[in-house]
Chains A and B, each alone.
Chain A
Amino acid sequence: MKGMNGLRRYHWMVGILLLALLLTGCKTGHEFIKGTEFKDDDKIVVVFAGPVEETWATNVSNFSAYEKPDPDIKLQITEATLGPDQTTLTVTFGAPLNQGEAHILTMTNIISEGQDMGSVTVTVQKLYFGVLMTVLLGAALIQNFVFTKYLGLCVFFGTSQRRDTAIGMGVVFTIVIVFAAMMAWALYQFVLKPYQLTFLNIVVFIGLVSLSVQGVDTILRKVNPTLFKAFGVYLVLVIANCIAIAVPLMLADNEYNGWESLMLALGAGVGFLLALFLMACVRERLELANVPPSFRGLPIAFVTAGLFALAFLGFSGLSIY
């Protein structure tokens, strides 16, 4: 009950976090452009604040677009049409767009009611909340670290024998990985990258992981001794888990920002917890089954994990946002 009260106290923090997320998702960067979004596979829709000239809007040469990571590769635009209200412009591309990436669309000399509004460059991307959810779900289910990336297997097979062990390990791992990933992100973006020390990534990140394990150990011991008694033993195992070092390396490789890093770490933790729990449920039942003697223990656990891996392949087409 005490724990529940503690949670309630932090509700306002969650609220502020969500609000901040929504606010960052809604800006387009220019006052004359009300909104931009992807439509179908190969279209971008731009909504203007006022009516624009039809002759300007249907001239394809007024527009150019590229994917944010590759400014040199201009995307081919085949058609531009203006809606009946003269404020919605639909730009059609020659090939389907990779909507996971942000696209930069440049519109030269926008003509509105006979007036030249100048050139505008807008960034088109999915709603930021959607991007974050994609990262979270991707790390937890679609690219599950255990079953589709094959990481952290030593700890996975070591702690999935009992259900309570599995939950303990999963929860502790999630806490530590979120800590470590946030520190790794800050250190990478503000120290390692600006000073071109990225070759030190491995050394710094492994140090950070050990540090956060020690930090969580100390804090938990002081703040909640009962929780520490239950979960403390798993803390040491976190260092031996390759996911703990893979997450910082991934967020550095992909240049994730703070929110995306948080979601990646959360997804990795939740995915690991889910994998452990599922596996523990099966292994508890396997103990009652009549397994051939030479397959008892690890071999049959591996075969079970293989079946889970096949099942997790089913998530590969999943996309909600």
Chain B
Amino acid sequence: MSTTTKSYGQLFMDGILKENPIFKLALSMCPAVGISTSVMNGILLGTAVLFVQVFSSCTISLVRNYIHPKIRIPTYTLTIATWVTVIDLVLAAYVPVAYKAMGMFVRLIVAFAIITMRLEMFACKEPLGKSFVDGVGMGLGFMVGMVTLGVVRELLGSGELLGYDILGFQPLLFFILPSAGFFVVGLMMGFFNWIEVKYNRRKEG
């Protein structure tokens, strides 16, 4: 039944590094720009995405043999929407303050291309175990991306991490201004590209 030859460990690491949703695939950029101002936001939204990704992957993987190919995309959308509703209500009930800070982004997980893409490319073909690992890897990859952005922006913008004072002064207010999200994401992408080019050159030479 399974069509992939990758081991569980490989599937897991791919989501975090080789196919990182934010820096490699450049999908679901909206929250990466919009609310990556603090590490806490990254962790919370990352958890929400992880939850939705894992549960949708498992659901689709379980019913994959019963979905008619013609209606598979609507099925994915409705599955995701259901799980997003669940996490939305849970977050609104248990962490109302942080939920407000994230604004609409929790509910907008429903439109994140990354989740639909994983369902279409992976979960609809693979058995439950592999889909679960792939979902966890992708969700964690998203969380890692968000937290990395959050660390850079919070540390450089307010000198804090998770609300604790680290530097003792405020280096550059610029980084936590809302519109700086575009600059930070652009600069970090450029930085990673640069590292990759250097690394490849060293390997060749």
A298 touches B182 (CB 8 A): no
**Are the CB atoms of A153 and B197 closer together than 8 Å?**
no
Would A200 and B85 count as touching, CB distance under 8 A?
yes
The answer, yes or no, to whether B89 is at the interface (CB within 8 Å) is yes
Could you tell me which residues of chain A, from 197 to 219, have a CB within 8 Å of some CB in chain B?
A: 199-203, 206-207, 210
A310 within 8 A of B: yes
Asked if A157 is at the interface (CB within 8 A of a chain B CB), the reply is yes
Q: How far is the CB of A292 from chain B (nearest CB, A)?
A: 8
Number of A-B contacts (CB under 8 A): 116
B41-49, B75-83, B135-143 - the one binding chain A: B75-83
Known A-B contacts A150-B30, A299-B187; the reply to A207 vs B182 at CB < 8 A is no
* Complex CA–CA separation, A154 to B31 (angstroms): 11
Bound state CA distance, A203 and B197, in angstroms? 44
Give the size of the chain A interface in residues (CB under 8 angstroms). 41
Would A207 and B29 count as touching, CB distance under 8 A?
Answer: no
Residues of B within 8 A of A149 (CB): 34
* B26:A303 contact, CB within 8 angstroms: no
* Chain A, residue nearest B188 (CB): A299
Chain A contact residues: over half helix, strand or loop, or mixed? helix
Contact with B along A139-174 (1 / 0, CB 8 A): 000000001111111100100000000000000000
> Which residue of chain B is the closest to A145 with respect to CB atoms?
B30
Q: How far is A295 from B185 in the complex, measured between Cα atoms in Å?
A: 12
Give the contacting residue for A203; candidates B30, B82, B186, B190; CB below 8 A.
B82
- Give the residues in chain A near B88, CB-CB below 8 Å: 202
Of the stretches A45-53, A63-71, A239-247, A255-263, the one at the interface is A239-247
Let me know if A241 and B194 touch, CB within 8 A: no
Known: A202-B88, A299-B193. A249 touches B107 (CB 8 A): yes
User: Is there contact, CB below 8 Å, between A202 and B107?
Assistant: yes
Residue B169 lies at the interface, judged by CB distance under 8 Å to chain A: no
Query: Is A202 within 8 A of B89, CB to CB?
Result: no
A229-275 at interface with B (beta carbon < 8 Å): 239-242, 244-246, 249-250
- Residues of chain A lying within 8 A (CB to CB) of residue B178: 148, 150, 309
CA distance A148 to B178 in the complex (A): 8
Closest residue on chain B to residue A308 by CB atoms: B182
In Å, the complex CA distance between A154 and B30 comes to 7
Q: Which of B7-15, B53-61, B108-116, B147-155 contacts A (4 or more CB under 8 A)?
A: B108-116
Q: Are A301's CB and B29's CB within 8 A?
A: no
Q: Looking across the interface, which residue of chain A has its beta carbon closest to that of B117?
A: A240
A241–B111 contact, CB under 8 A? yes
Within 8 A of A (CB), among B96-124: 104, 107-108, 110-113, 116
7 examples of A-B residue contacts, CB within 8 angstroms: A202-B107, A207-B74, A242-B30, A299-B187, A305-B182, A309-B179, A310-B179
Told that A150-B30, A207-B74 touch, could you supply 20 new A-B pairs with CB distance under 8 A?
A148-B179, A151-B34, A153-B33, A154-B27, A202-B85, A203-B82, A206-B78, A206-B110, A242-B30, A245-B111, A246-B104, A246-B108, A250-B104, A294-B193, A294-B194, A302-B189, A305-B182, A306-B181, A306-B182, A309-B182
Which 4 residue pairs spanning A and B have beta carbons closest together?
A302-B186, A306-B182, A150-B34, A309-B179
